Amino acid sequence: MKRTVYIETSVISYLTARSSQDAIISACQQITRLWWDAGRSVDSSFISTYVIEEVSNGDPAAAEERLAALRAIPILPVSPEIPELAEFLVMGGGLPANARIDALHIACAAFHDIDVLLTWNCAHIANPARLPVMRGLCAARGYTLPELVTPFELMEVSP
The CATH number of the domain where 76 resides is what? 3.40.50.1010
Assigned domain for 159 exists: no
The pLDDT confidence band at residue 158, using thresholds 50, 70 and 90, is very low
Q: Biggest alpha carbon distance in the chain?
A: 45
The pLDDT confidence band at residue 156, using thresholds 50, 70 and 90, is low
Assigned domain for 157 exists: no
3-state secondary structure of 29: helix
Assigned domain for 133 exists: yes
**How confident is the model over 138-159, as a mean pLDDT?**
86
Report whether pLDDT(85) > 50. yes
Report whether pLDDT(41) > 80. no
Torsion of CA 43, 136, 155, 17, to 10 degrees: 80
Assigned domain for 110 exists: yes
Which of 123-131's residues contact partners 24+ apart within 8 Å by CB, and which partners?
124/95, 124/96, 124/99, 125/8, 126/150, 130/94, 130/95
The pLDDT confidence band at residue 92, using thresholds 50, 70 and 90, is very high
Helix (H) or strand (E) holding 6: strand 5-7
Report whether pLDDT(1) > 70. no
The pLDDT confidence band at residue 38, using thresholds 50, 70 and 90, is confident
Q: Which domain holds residue 16?
A: 5-150
3-state secondary structure of 89: helix
Domain count, the chain: 1
Report the length, in residues, of the chain: 159
Assigned domain for 9 exists: yes
Q: How far apart are CA 90 and CA 98, in angstroms?
A: 9
Assigned domain for 106 exists: yes
Assigned domain for 98 exists: yes
